[in-house]
Structures are given as structure tokens and as C-alpha cells.
Amino acid sequence: MSATIDDPRVIEFDVRTDEMLVNMGPQHPSTHGVLRLVLRTDGEIVSEVTPHIGYLHRCAEKIGENLTPRQWIPYTDRMDYLAAMNMNLGWALAVEKLLKYEPPERGRHLRVIIAELGRIASHLVGMGAYGLDLGSFSPFLYAFREREKILDLFEEACGARLTYSYLTVGGATADLPAGWLDRCEQFLDQLLPIIQEYHTLLTSNAIFIKRTAGIGTMSREMAIDYGTSGPVLRGSGVDHDLRRDGEEIYTAMYDGYAFEVVVEKDGHYPQDHDYPPVPQEAELGDCWHRFYVRMLEVMQSIDLVRQGIDCYRTTSGSHGEPMKLTQKLPAGEVYLETEAPRGQMGFYLVSDGDSIPWRVRARSSSFCNLSVTGPLCAGCLIADVPAIVGSLDIVMGEIDR
């Protein structure tokens, strides 16, 4: 059979590509857990990305309807398992909002110390894993080395390394052990110079900039429209951080603390440390900016932990008595969002006056952040898909709940 030039099978005159569906995941090193992406590709160009989620779905909300709030704390650990402390805190505060309970001063500072350490640990993983997504292996090891030390501190405080159930309704399950604050300070002193190492490895690395700057740019309007939050939202230049703009019960925790929201304003970030400058190729809202916001937040959190340690040392009294396991809840409903490392984690609780809530709902930040993948990846290269998904820094345990 002779082929003619009109025959679509003839390709030697011009490389013709066919549309192809590529399955990425659910088991793929750069999908951060069990996320399946279906890419519609034409050659190297991706025209459509459809995320499929739910592989880790446990219906945690249904479980919450059968347990008392304190019994449900361990389930919040397993949502964002890289920032379990912040999940505990979010749920504890939501229940406290319903109970109209105010934790004692010492407990408040303890929570700030722990929550901000959790943020550092989470951002370190986010940073290391992002390097891994882009094919750079070493930052991952550097990040995990430092994170391990935070886990050691957490282990000393509550006995667990990953699923803590430490911050709980009413306060915390235990006070910080003797000498813990000194060890924490030592760690911070040691971490500070290492941040520069991370910047050399990634932030100002020429290849890293090439892979992330100008890729996956999300406008301010789009970030708000899709309900993104945390570093993803601030990376697009939206000046919003619940630690400053949240509800009173949450912002009261940070009363007296000095910090500036990490966001680009008038073309520069509001920090006075010597950071690598924003490269020329980068535009606001791209993968590089999302990454950069996270890196600056590590510095911000180090500062907040230091302030917390000072406040904790100067206050005396109780760190907060955990609420009774089967205490009756007042009837009513509350919704509270807190600033978890990955964004705004919200908990909604409906109570009919029993000790077990009528309805529990977890609004996941990563869930909303992931929903932008489709529009962000349309028209990009296949190799940019991991760069974009990685820059959102998602955790599947929280998305699937």
C-alpha cells in the first residue's frame, strides 16, 4: 500500500502529534500522596488537567458525628499530617468558640510556640518536597534534617512525632517539660543560618528560577475566586492572613506579638533581612512567589516562636485544663477558620446540646488550593505540571479527609 502525502499516517514531513490522555498518579512521586491527574496532552503541551481525588477519603466528618470533640482530636491529626499541631489547634479553637472558653495566658503562649514550630516544620517539608518535584534531590535531605529536630522537640513535649493530639480543647494535654524552652532556642539559633543555605540551594538557584519563575501565574482575582488561602493566596499578592485578619478568638492568641504579613506590597516584600532578591523573570502569582512566601514565613515563624518563648517565660499559672472527655456542649453552631501552614483550615460544628456534635465539617485549605490546578495547568508543558502542583504544597490527607 502506497502512502500519499495526504494520508494522515504520513509523518515524516512534519512531526504530527495526536491528542493523548496521560495518567499521572495515583502513585507518582510528585503528586504528594495519592492524587491522580489526567492530562490531555498534544505532544508536550497540556490542554487540560483533571484532578481525581478521594483515595484517602475516610469520611472523617461522619466519624466526628459519633465522637465527642476531644475524642475527635486524633482524627484532625490525620488530616494535614505534616502540620498536625495546627489542625489540633483549629479544631480546639472552634470548640472553644462554642464553649465561649478563653485559655489562660500561659496556654495561649504555649499554643503560639507550638503552632509556629509546626508551621516551620511544615514549610520545610514543603520546600524540600518542591525541590524533589523539580528534580533536585539534596534540598529534601537538608529540609528533613532540620525538621527532624522539630519533631524531636515535639516528641519531648507530647510523646508523638507526627500525630500529636497535643493542643486540645481547653489548652494542651501537658505543660512543656523542663529545659524544653532552652533546647528550642538552641534549635532556632542553629536554624537561622541554615535558611541561607536553603536560599542558595533553591530560591536563588538559576535552574530553580528557570523552572518556577513565570510558570503557573495566578492573578489576584483568580486566587480569591477559587477560595485559595495561605501562601498560595499571598503569593498572588493578596494581603490576607488570619493571624491578623481572622476572628477575634483566633487573633487574640497573637495579641502582643509583632509580625508583618508576608506579601508583596508595592513591588517588595516587607522584610528587612537579607534575602535573595526577587529575580527579574518572576512575576507576582507564579510558582516562585508562592515558594518565596513560604520561605519568608519560616523566618517570620522563627521570630514568633522567640517572642512566644519570652512571653511564656514571664507568665505563670496553668497552661490550660483539657475539657472533660464527655462534657456536654451548648446548643448552637460555630464556624472558625485558622491560619494553618497550607492555608485557612475551617471547622464547622453544629451542636444540639449533647456531648457529641450533631454535625462536624472540616473545610480544607488544600482542597480549595488544589481546585485551581485545572485552570492553572491549561496550556502549560508536561514538565510544568509537577512544578505547578508542587507549588500549591498540598497534603492529600487534608483534601480527602
Helix residue spans in 265-364 (DSSP H): 287-314
Residue of 212, 344, 366, 391 interacting with other proteins (CB under 8 A): 344
In the complex, least distance from residue 4 CB atom to other proteins, rounded to whole angstroms = 42
57 interacts with other proteins by CB under 8 A: yes
Q: CB neighbours of 287 closer than 8 A, spacing ≥ 6?
A: 211, 212, 213, 215, 216, 387, 388, 390, 391
- Window 262-321: residues binding other proteins (CB under 8 A): none
What CA–CA distance (Å, rounded) separates 1 from 121?
65
What CA–CA distance (Å, rounded) separates 225 from 229?
11
Q: Which stretch binds other proteins (CB under 8 A): 96-104, 157-165, 172-180, 278-286?
A: 96-104
Q: Which stretch binds other proteins (CB under 8 A): 29-37, 71-79, 221-229, 259-267?
A: 221-229
67 interacts with other proteins by CB under 8 A: no
201 interacts with other proteins by CB under 8 A: no
Q: CB neighbours of 1 closer than 8 A, spacing ≥ 6?
A: none
Residue of 226, 269, 288, 312 interacting with other proteins (CB under 8 A): 226
Residue of 30, 32, 91, 97 interacting with other proteins (CB under 8 A): 97
240 interacts with other proteins by CB under 8 A: yes
368 interacts with other proteins by CB under 8 A: yes
332 interacts with other proteins by CB under 8 A: yes
Helix residue spans in 32-136 (DSSP H): 60-64, 69-77, 84-99, 105-133
What CA–CA distance (Å, rounded) separates 392 from 228?
10
Q: Which stretch binds other proteins (CB under 8 A): 34-42, 74-82, 107-115, 356-364?
A: 356-364
**Beta carbons of 363 and 20 less than 8 angstroms apart:** no
Beta bridge partners of 362: 347
What CA–CA distance (Å, rounded) separates 50 from 373?
8
The one-letter code for the residue type at 337 is E
Q: Which residues bind other proteins (CB under 8 A)?
A: 53-54, 57, 59, 61-62, 97-98, 100, 222, 224-227, 238, 240, 245, 247, 332-335, 337, 344, 346, 348, 350, 358-359, 361, 363, 367-368, 371, 400-401
